[in-house]
Amino acid sequence: MRNRHVWRAFIIVIFSLLAVGGVFLSLAKGAMAISLQDIAGVLFSDHAGTSQQVIWNIRLPRTLVGALVGINLSLAGAILQGVMKNPLADPHIIGISSGAGLAGVTIMVLFPDKEYLVTPMAFLGAMMSAVFIYILAWKGGIRPIRIILAGVAVSAFLNSGISALMVFYSDRVHGALMWMVGGLSARSWPHLDIILPYTVVGGILALAGARRLNILNLGDEIARGLGVNVEVSRIAMTAVAALLAASAVSVVGLLGFVGLIVPHAARLLVGSDYRYLLPASAILGVAVVTLSDTLARVAFSPLEIPVGIIMAFMGAPFFLYLLRRDA
Amino acid sequence: MPMMKTENISVHFAGNTVLDNLTLAVEKGQMISILGPNGSGKSTLLKTLSRNVKPDQGTIYLDNQNIAMLSAKVIARKMAVLPQSPQAPSDVTVRDLVEYGRYPHQSWWQGKSEEDNHWIDWALEQTGLMRMKERIVSTLSGGERQRVWIAMALAQQPEILLLDEPTTYLDICHQLEIMELLAEFNWRHHMTVAMVLHDINQAARYSDCIVMLYQSKIFAVGKPKDVITSDNLREVFGVESLITIDDTGRPVVIITGLTKRRGY
């Protein structure tokens, strides 16, 4: 029998290596290949010259945004799967994607000259639909199944709005479509400034709630017996997940895959203890997003495909493999 | 002095009265069993005591303090709860699960302390789980699993333990093992135990006090030999019985058949 502690540490080290590798690959590869020395030069000393310019102005911020998006969506998914006690729970379920989607697409299609509003409006839309779903699901307390069903209904409603906009303004759909799939193209320092505070605060709150999530996983009655205020904890942790996911989605569009699959993959490998699962998910999220984005840029160069497509295309089969392996 | 008491509690679900104006005291150090037919409200009573159901009227006191005024953690340091058939995540080990019992004693910024380790080991020792502490809970037998949950509750260092049908789904040997374990804790550590039981003879054998519920009300309460009588069993459960008193003064029940009732 393998020692669980050694195994968990081993997996987290592997995830970390993948994440570091993903970050460096993402910096090095692209329309212009850049050597590791140059990367190190930019990171640790002055930066002049073309390759340094490329790294500093384009690749580094894009890579960092990708890494933080990976962290946020993975943590949000891991938290929601625990709080809702449902393996299909992800940021879609609490209305983050459809809310952000309708707000973002509305701006892009109806007010194309106000592109700068896409991010704040998408964030607002995401939070509003999450709060709305919570209010709808409230009936003398919160039961996960009601949140999930209310989420499905509200998402269907909002998605019909998105479809309607796309049909009525079919000539302006391209940008909106790219954003719906999710991509890191042209993401730079301002985007990093938007998402970073949420990653820091959300990440700390998530880790602080790890033990509470473990207890919630034992079921409501056991959790109450152990002194957890189940309703308050559930709302608080969902709110943390909503902030994490909304900030990510508003910056890069509706990346669907990370929040659902990464936490599951991490869970299959490190187990369900949230003290390990949360950091493992976050690190794996970094690896998955940065590696996928690199591939998205390189695979059909000079054409760049949205990272969301690559991720689902590569990730879904890998996830199915993990599932079969454990079954 | 009562460890726990309820004053005029009522619970309604969707227009039905499930508990009707119940007043009950659980004395310190007692082992008390709640009996009653299906639908009599016995599980709801336990869930109300464990705060899983909020009473529509009335007050519950834990150690003379109104339970509605206490924080969840303060309550959890005094009272442990074992619901019916709890589920552990599929990969959690015995020791990890018992460690969760320390949650009410930990603050969110602190890790596990020496004291926590001491009580976890103690709970494992008491329940005879020391040699299987690294096993995965979901691979254990039903009786072992129930002992793990009891160990988790013990790690809470509670003064009172509430259990909802702790022996259901277990074979007779493991049923007795659980009952003996609870009786030993009650006797050696003066831990108050309140539980819902199905088996009348087990309740009679192990309880200091029996509460018999019928149609959302307390039908009878008192010592086993005073509550478990042929008349009461006929009235409440609708069964005929022969009852003898064994040499410890406790009733032993043999059910002989259904009571013939008008309307059948």
CA distance A72 to A77: 9
Q: Residue A75: name the closest of A175, A167, A192, A213 by CA.
A: A213
Amino acid at site B125: E
CB contact under 8 A, B75 and A227: yes
Given a cut of 70, whether residue B263 has pLDDT beyond it is no
Best residue in B67, B85, B103 to probe A by mutation, most A CBs within 10 Å? Answer: B103
Residues 221-260 of A with CB under 8 A from B: 221-222, 224-229
pLDDT in tens, B7-47: 999 999 888 999 999 999 999 999 999 999 998 999 999 99
B163 to chain A, any CB pair closer than 8 A? The answer is: no
Q: What is the mean pLDDT of residues B80-107?
A: 91
Mean pLDDT of chain B: 92
Question: pLDDT at position A78, please?
Answer: 94
Q: Are the C-beta atoms of B52 and B164 separated by less than 8 Å?
A: no
Which residue is associated with the tokens 């391209």?
Answer: A174
Question: pLDDT at position B23, please?
Answer: 94
pTM of the model: 0.88
Q: How many helices (H) and strands (E) does chain B have?
A: 9, 12
Question: pLDDT at position A231, please?
Answer: 85
User: In chain A, which ranges are continuous DSSP H helix?
Assistant: 4-28, 36-44, 50-54, 60-83, 96-110, 118-137, 144-168, 173-181, 189-208, 210-216, 220-225, 230-252, 257-270, 274-298, 307-326
Given a cut of 80, whether residue B251 has pLDDT beyond it is yes
Question: pLDDT at position A116, please?
Answer: 81
pLDDT tens string, chain A, 327 residues long: the values are: 457 888 899 999 999 999 999 888 888 877 677 777 777 776 666 656 777 777 777 788 889 999 999 999 999 999 998 888 877 788 877 888 889 889 988 988 888 888 788 888 888 888 888 888 888 888 766 778 888 888 889 989 998 998 898 888 888 888 788 778 777 777 888 888 888 999 999 999 999 999 999 999 998 899 999 999 988 898 889 889 988 988 888 888 878 778 888 998 899 889 999 999 999 999 999 999 999 888 888 888 778 888 888 888 877 887 788 778 754
Q: How far is CA A12 from the centre of its chain?
A: 19
Q: Report CA-CA distances (Å) from A235 to A207, A222, B146.
A: 16, 18, 31
CB contact under 8 A, A222 and B79: no
Q: Report CA-CA distances (Å) from B236 to B35, B197, B230.
A: 10, 15, 10
Q: How confident is the model at residue B162 (pLDDT cuts 50, 70, 90)?
A: very high
Residues 92-151 of B with CB under 8 A from A: 92-93, 96, 100-101, 103-104, 106, 108-109
Q: What is the mean pLDDT of residues B106-121?
A: 84
User: Taking CA atoms, what residue in A is nearest to B164?
Assistant: A221
Question: pLDDT at position A1, please?
Answer: 44
End-to-end CA distance of chain A: 18
**ipTM for the whole complex:** 0.90
CB contact under 8 A, A218 and B77: no
Nearest Cβ partner of A226 from B71, B89, B103? B103
Question: pLDDT at position A3, please?
Answer: 78
Amino acid at site B144: E
Q: Are the C-beta atoms of B210 and B204 separated by less than 8 Å?
A: yes
Q: What is the mean pLDDT of residues B108-118?
A: 82
CB contact under 8 A, A227 and B76: yes
Q: Are the C-beta atoms of A12 and A270 separated by less than 8 Å?
A: yes
